[in-house]
Amino acid sequence: MGKVTLSPKILDVLDFGTPSAERDISRGLEKYFVESDAYQRVRSGAKTILMGNRGAGKSAIFQVLAKRERAAGSHVIELSPEDYSYELLSSTMEAEDAGSWAKQGAYAAAWKYLIYVLVMKALARKGMRLTKGGGREIHNYIRDNHGAHQLGPLSLLVSYLKRLEAIKLGPIEAGLRTRELDRLYKLEEIHNLQPALKKVLDGQRVIVLVDELDRGWDSSEDAKAFVSGLFQACVSINGLHENLRVYVSLRQELYDDIPALYDDAQKHRDLLEKIYWSEESLLELIAKRIRYSAHEKGFDVEALERAGDRACWSAVFASPPGQGRDAAFRYMVDRTLYRPREIIQFCSEALAQARRRASKLPVPYSAIERCEYGYSAERTRDIAAEYRSQYPGLLSIFEVFRSRPHTFDREELELLCLELAVGEIPTRGTESWLPNCYPNDLIEVLWRSGLLTAQANGDGTFLGSHQVQHLNIAAVKRFRIHEMFRSSLGIATPEGAAPGG
């Protein structure tokens, strides 16, 4: 494929979109969406629990799914951050040890109640002159029970939980308590509507999307019961009818942070879709954005449309002299954990840099180098922040690597980790977990978070947790600081590994 030259004017208007899917969707995400197999499995309903790191594309899949389902006439219910507040739950609900509470089960029942009510509301709203096929019953239930007082989703959920709590912890005679609880767990209020609901669902489709559960995550008892209860509810509701699908997205760390989910992993595994990206698919993602943006701005993009992803890339980003045309891509993708948000941000910053000094495309390689420090510093902070609830103070551990060599033998690294655990090297905010950490545990944490890459076999390559799913870290002899963190931590890059020198 030949070289593509772009009009100098494109430099002024080119853009890679925004780093979050919620904002991207109104700017054309659907048109430049990379349709992965993961998306297909979610769309078909084979997978209903979507897992991925921050910025990996969970919301993108949900946003595109929502748009397409709406276009096909389905009802789409989206539950997102404003709709839940972990702090509020913790301050509203009694603690588990206040009685035999069995919170997870209570939350599961409350979620089922909430979702069924929302689904019936959606169905009751549109075309409920439906007098046959179950429509009338649902319509009447919603009118009589949820008509006048319009509670928001979280209030509905909390109100059901409160009913359960009152019976569990209240002064009620034991026999009565069991009966009352049984009624609430079985959702008696709406249970008899299920046949009607099934009939309505024969002709209409409802999709429920629960996203951004990690917003405001505080690792509290209620937060954990809230999410594990949702999983149970999701599995149960998805068994009702193929035209009713509840989808949940979750970050890996959250999943790991909830023992109840971990224990149930076997039950969920076949429903779970994890988002992975490769270098090729990230290149495709950027190439699509380049083509779309140029086209939107009214440029003739025939040459770009014909060009492969690599040619498209190199029309926008130049390689250093004497290096292959994807050297700049290599350089940038090596400084990511393979998440779309990272490559979009890095590319956008390099483009902004270039605009300050150059007047035409491609973006010179020096522009990438100039914005690397800022990008690296932001990523380092953000990654540490992602682990705020599980490993507080992680940033101060990252800082310990400042100005040290980029590569460590296991013995050196173990010693360093030991010094960290016993406090010989001071860190901040890590008291709750670091002192209990064996060197190997800490190495594992640093590998999972992305800071460390591991030499997995004899051929010298170092792999990060974004590149391999399973790796026996205990057997690894050499580790290396990932390139993304190096600039911000002042760690030199090994000879020969830097493109351009």
Ligand X SMILES: Nc1ncnc2c1ncn2[C@@H]1O[C@H](COP(=O)(O)OP(=O)(O)O)[C@@H](O)[C@H]1O
CA atoms within 13 A on the CB side of 383: 28
| Owner of token pair 């109640």 | 113
Query: How many residues contact Mg ion, by CB under 5 A?
Result: 1
Measured from the CB atom, the residue of 34 and 130 that comes closer to ligand X is: 34
Site for ligand X in 324-363 (CB under 6 A): 340-341, 344
Counting contacts by CB under 6 A, is residue 250 touching ligand X? no
481 binds, among ligand X, Mg ion, none (CB under 5 to 8 A by kind): none
Counting contacts by CB under 6 A, is residue 429 touching ligand X? no
Taking contact as CB under 6 A, which single stretch among the options 26-34, 155-163, 226-234, 483-491 is the one that binds ligand X? 26-34
Counting contacts by CB under 6 A, is residue 56 touching ligand X? yes
Counting contacts by CB under 6 A, is residue 54 touching ligand X? yes
Counting contacts by CB under 5 A, is residue 59 touching Mg ion? yes
Counting contacts by CB under 6 A, is residue 233 touching ligand X? no
Token pair in block for residue 302: 């025939």
76: enclosing H helix or E strand: strand 75-79
Minimum CB–partner distance for residue 22 and ligand X (Å): 7
Query: How many residues contact ligand X, by CB under 6 A?
Result: 22
Per-residue interface string for the shown chain with ligand X, residues 32-51, x marking contact by CB under 6 A: xxx-----------------
φ/ψ region of 228 (left if φ > 0, alpha if ψ in -120 to 50, else beta) reads alpha
Taking contact as CB under 5 A, which single stretch among the options 51-59, 268-276, 322-330, 449-457 is the one that binds Mg ion? 51-59
Taking contact as CB under 5 A, which single stretch among the options 54-62, 130-138, 358-366, 487-495 is the one that binds Mg ion? 54-62
Compute how many other C-beta atoms are within 10 angstroms of the C-beta atom of residue 450. Answer: 22
Measured from the CB atom, the residue of 21 and 109 that comes closer to ligand X is: 21
Q: Judge if the upstream peptide bond of residue 426 is cis by omega within 30 degrees of 0.
A: no
Burial (CB count <10 Å: 0-12, 13-18, 19+), residue 44: exposed
Taking contact as CB under 6 A, which single stretch among the options 31-39, 65-73, 379-387, 399-407 is the one that binds ligand X? 31-39
Counting contacts by CB under 6 A, is residue 24 touching ligand X? yes
- Among 108, 285, 327, 476, the residue binding ligand X under the rule CB under 6 A is 285
Write phi, then psi, for 481 (nearest 5 degrees): -70, 130
Taking contact as CB under 5 A, which single stretch among the options 56-64, 257-265, 276-284, 422-430 is the one that binds Mg ion? 56-64
Per-residue CA distances from 175 to 106, 167, 182, 440 (Å): 19, 11, 11, 52
Are 365 and 328 in contact by the 8 Å Cβ rule? The answer is: yes
- Tell me how far apart the alpha carbons of residues 209 and 207 are, in angstroms, rounded to a whole number: 6
Measured from the CB atom, the residue of 142 and 337 that comes closer to ligand X is: 337
Sheet containing 478-481: order of strands: 407-409, 478-481, 452-455, 462-463
Minimum CB–partner distance for residue 388 and Mg ion (Å): 17
Counting contacts by CB under 5 A, is residue 53 touching Mg ion? no
Per-residue interface string for the shown chain with Mg ion, residues 284-323, x marking contact by CB under 5 A: ----------------------------------------
Indicate if the alpha-carbon torsion angle 406, 410, 416, 417 is positive or negative. positive
- Tell me how far apart the alpha carbons of residues 314 and 333 are, in angstroms, rounded to a whole number: 14
Are 390 and 255 in contact by the 8 Å Cβ rule? The answer is: no
135 binds, among ligand X, Mg ion, none (CB under 5 to 8 A by kind): none
Is residue 463 classed as helix, strand or coil in its secondary structure? strand
Taking contact as CB under 6 A, which single stretch among the options 13-21, 159-167, 225-233, 370-378 is the one that binds ligand X? 13-21
Beta bridge mates, 452: 481
Residue 457 is classified by DSSP as S
- Among 58, 75, 121, 224, the residue binding ligand X under the rule CB under 6 A is 58
Of 478, 488, 482, 460, residue with least CA distance to 333: 482
CB proximity list for 374: less than 8 A, separation 6 or greater = 349
Counting contacts by CB under 6 A, is residue 59 touching ligand X? yes
Residues at the site binding Mg ion, with contacts judged by CB under 5 A: 59
Residues at the site binding ligand X, with contacts judged by CB under 6 A: 17-21, 24, 29, 32-34, 52, 54-60, 285, 340-341, 344
